[in-house]
């Protein structure tokens, strides 16, 4: 597609996703506009939607890493993760208000909170490990503005990596006392086991995911900064959630994190 055609496609995708968000009504996929392979265009859509949120007063709180599971990568025909932006108003605790999300699903993750910037030209595992202030258990509540989760890579990237909300636990564990790859996870919905996994399910090691993000963010000209929260990727399968359900995740060494989805009735 020519440059003018590409610009029109990006603008149309921004408008479609922004309308879906504002009207709380899922929309058609945006791959009919962007195609299946133009990931750079999808990130440009994400960037413009991010600028809209910042102009409305939101503050960047960190980033999320998606597509860390090899099975999901195979499903979407990709060989690397993607990322989205976390905003301060996405951090919830206790209860998720009814009607706030469109098609929520929950997944359990390790969150890293950075104590140092990751903006060096050469980044390796030792560097990112040293930059982590602490780890804490997290629930990411993913959501999609795309109807029926009918997504390809460009759809989810444009839609801020299908971000919704997130919940952090109370434990603050330094990496001197915790090895992310060795973590085991169990997630429950109203006491029933619905997902199980471990650190190796997240790109082989959640720190591998953090390294990928740190390098990618720097390449995009927006490196990770001290104080930011990084959701490193699911440790096990995500599950749909319904009104009234309470979701609890247990991650070894890190403890538990819990959230309840309000029932409007």
Provide the number of structural domains found in the chain.
Answer: 1
pLDDT value, residue 74: 74
Position 8 in a domain? no
Question: Phi, psi (5° rounding) for residue 65?
Answer: -110, 130
Sign of CA dihedral 206, 209, 213, 219: positive
Q: How confident is the model at residue 33 (pLDDT cuts 50, 70, 90)?
A: very high
Q: Which residues pair with 127 in a beta bridge?
A: none
Tens of pLDDT along 37-85?
899 999 999 999 999 999 999 999 999 999 998 767 776 677 789 999 9
**Token reading at 177:** 């006392």
pLDDT at 91 over 70: yes
pLDDT value, residue 264: 86
Position 40 in a domain? no
Average pLDDT, integer, range 184-191? 97
Range of the domain at 89: 59-261
pLDDT value, residue 72: 73
pLDDT at 183 over 80: yes
pLDDT value, residue 2: 78
Tens of pLDDT along 110-119?
999 999 999 9
Query: How far is it, in rounded angstroms, from Cα 234 to Cα 203?
Result: 10
Position 38 in a domain? no
Eight-class DSSP state of 224? B
Q: How confident is the model at residue 144 (pLDDT cuts 50, 70, 90)?
A: very high
Position 215 in a domain? yes
CATH code, 132 = 3.90.850.10
Position 26 in a domain? no
Query: How far is it, in rounded angstroms, from Cα 265 to Cα 260?
Result: 14
Position 45 in a domain? no
Q: Are 106 and 242 in contact (CB under 8 A)?
A: no
- Choose among 139, 122, 112, 125: nearest CA to 226: 112
Instruction: Give the mean pLDDT of the chain.
Output: 95
**Token reading at 253:** 């060494």
pLDDT value, residue 75: 65
The lowest-confidence range among 10-24, 57-71, 177-191, 210-224 is: 57-71
**Token reading at 144:** 């999609």
Q: What is the pTM of this model?
A: 0.95
Phi-psi region of 244 (alpha: psi -120 to 50; beta: other; left: phi over 0): left
Query: How far is it, in rounded angstroms, from Cα 220 to Cα 234?
Result: 23
Average pLDDT, integer, range 218-232? 97
Name 24's Cβ contacts closer than 8 Å, sequence gap at least 6: 99, 102
**Token reading at 151:** 């997504």
Position 72 in a domain? yes
Position 21 in a domain? no
pLDDT value, residue 69: 81
Tens of pLDDT along 153-176?
999 999 999 999 999 999 999 999
**Token reading at 254:** 């890190």
Place of tokens 């029932």: 263
Q: Tell me the percentage of the chain whose pLDDT exceeds 90.
A: 89
pLDDT at 210 over 80: yes
Tens of pLDDT along 241-259?
999 999 999 999 999 999 9
């Amino acid at each position: 597609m020519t440059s003018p055609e590409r610009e029109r496609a990006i603008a149309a995708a921004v408008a479609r996703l922004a309308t879906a968000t504002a009207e709380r009504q899922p929309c058609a996929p945006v791959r009919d506009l962007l195609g299946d392979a133009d990931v750079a265009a999808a990130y440009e859509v994400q960037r413009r939607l991010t600028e809209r949120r910042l102009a409305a007063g939101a503050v960047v709180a960190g980033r999320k890493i998606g597509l860390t599971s090899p099975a999901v990568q195979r499903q979407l025909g990709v060989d690397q993760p993607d990322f989205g932006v976390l905003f301060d108003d996405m951090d919830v605790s206790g209860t998720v208000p009814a009607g706030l999300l469109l098609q929520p699903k929950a997944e359990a993750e390790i969150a890293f909170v950075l104590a140092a910037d990751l903006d060096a030209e050469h980044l390796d595992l030792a560097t990112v490990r040293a930059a982590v202030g602490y780890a804490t258990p997290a629930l990411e509540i993913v959501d999609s503005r795309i109807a029926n989760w009918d997504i390809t890579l460009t759809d989810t990237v444009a839609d801020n990596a299908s971000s919704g909300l997130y919940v952090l636990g109370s434990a603050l564990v330094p990496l001197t006392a915790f090895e992310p790859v060795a973590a085991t996870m169990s997630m429950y919905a109203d006491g029933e086991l619905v997902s199980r996994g471990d650190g190796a399910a997240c790109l082989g090691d959640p720190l591998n995911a953090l390294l990928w993000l740190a390098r990618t963010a720097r390449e995009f000209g927006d490196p990770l900064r001290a104080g930011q929260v990084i959701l490193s990727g699911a440790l096990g399968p995500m599950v749909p959630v319904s009104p009234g359900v309470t979701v609890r995740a247990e991650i070894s060494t890190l403890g538990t994190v819990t959230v309840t989805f309000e029932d409007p009735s």
